[in-house]
Amino acid sequence: MLPSAWCLLHTIVMEERLQKLIASAGIASRRHAEQLITAGEVTVNGKVVTELGTKADPASDHIKVRGKLINTSLQRRENVYVLLNKPRGCLSSVTDPEGRPTVLELLPASLGRLYPVGRLDFNTEGLLLLTNDGDFTNFITSARNKVEKVYEAKVKGVPEEQAIQRLRRGVVLDDGTRTAPARIRRLGETETNAWFEILLHEGKNQQIRRMFELIGHSVLKLRRARIGFLRDDELKPGKWRQLSEDEVKLLTRTRHQTRSKTITNKSHAAGHGTSRQ
């Protein structure tokens, strides 16, 4: 192979987008990395880079974020994938200016710098993924990959079936955005409350709470029970475990997400009902 051809091949294979490299180094999430670039806080070989999409090769380029070289972090960093059962009263963020507890406080520092994959709001509990792999985060959170998120909701009052059908078709929220069609299954009800299971592929801010508010029924309790095929009923609130290599591969295998699976089996639904008060 000619030297020029070898150099071209090396460039194609080794260069990556700066925001991906910054996220892989554990400096910031992909979105925050883009903000750092446009703010002029990233340099490559001593030159400030502000254009998104700029690529670099960590094997030959010196990449700095806010004056700190990140090449060493890229060389020694391994991808980490954590499944956490987020408790209520905890933020799905890295920090909080108000000093409220965050999900990172539930994890040991030995795991390194991790970022939540999507979000659960302050009063929502359930399964949350955290990782330092920007590509993994993008895959799980992108609606086009149809990674299923299943939630269990207790709502005030008993909505009529016609109202639930409206939510299934998709509704326009208070900010003018329209929700995609959702799978909603009624799990049970009393004279004062009802329980539902909701399957979504998207994740707008407080979407389920806003959907039910729209039909006049506030959500009293909300829990995410499944992400893709991942369901871990043995994982107590506040506890976590690392994903296996096989679990990571299955989560990011598109063909496993394109056809919806049964939300839960009948035995689980029956068991769920026995604990309601």
Q: What is the pLDDT of residues 220-256, one digit of tens each?
A: 999 999 999 999 999 999 999 999 999 999 998 853 4
266 and 146 together in one domain: yes
Rounded-to-integer distance, Cα 57 and Cα 15, Å: 4
Instruction: Tell me if 58 sits within 8 A of 81, measured CB to CB.
Output: no
Rounded-to-integer distance, Cα 117 and Cα 30, Å: 11
| CATH number of the domain encompassing residue 35 | 3.10.290.10
Catalytic residue among 57, 61, 121, 135: 121
Look over the chain and give the mean of its residue pLDDT values, rounded to a whole number. 84
Rounded-to-integer distance, Cα 234 and Cα 228, Å: 17
193 and 225 together in one domain: yes
Lookup result for tokens 């299955």 = 250
12 and 105 together in one domain: no
Domain termination site, one of 42, 76, 110:
76
Q: Whose CA is closest to 69, among 118, 21, 14?
A: 21
Instruction: Tell me if 220 sits within 8 A of 156, measured CB to CB.
Output: yes
pLDDT number for residue 259: 40
Rounded-to-integer distance, Cα 276 and Cα 154, Å: 9
Domain termination site, one of 56, 76, 96:
76
Enclosing H/E stretch for 226: strand 219-227
pLDDT number for residue 268: 41
Q: Is the pLDDT of residue 28 over 60?
A: yes
109 and 226 together in one domain: yes
Which one-letter amino acid corresponds to residue 72? T
Mean pLDDT of 186-193: 96
Domain termination site, one of 76, 105, 124:
76
- Active-site residue flag, 232: no
Q: What is the pLDDT of residues 165-183, one digit of tens each?
A: 999 999 999 999 999 999 9
Q: What is the pLDDT of residues 29-85, one digit of tens each?
A: 778 889 999 999 999 999 999 999 899 888 789 999 999 998 877 776 688 999 999
Per-residue CA distances from 253 to 191, 222, 228, 271 (Å): 43, 28, 10, 31
Q: Is the pLDDT of residue 274 over 50?
A: no
Q: Whole domain around residue 22: which residue ranges?
A: 3-76
Name the domain count of the chain. Answer: 2
Q: What is the pLDDT of residues 97-110, one digit of tens each?
A: 888 999 999 998 77
Mean pLDDT of 252-263: 50
Mean pLDDT of 199-218: 92
233 and 263 together in one domain: yes
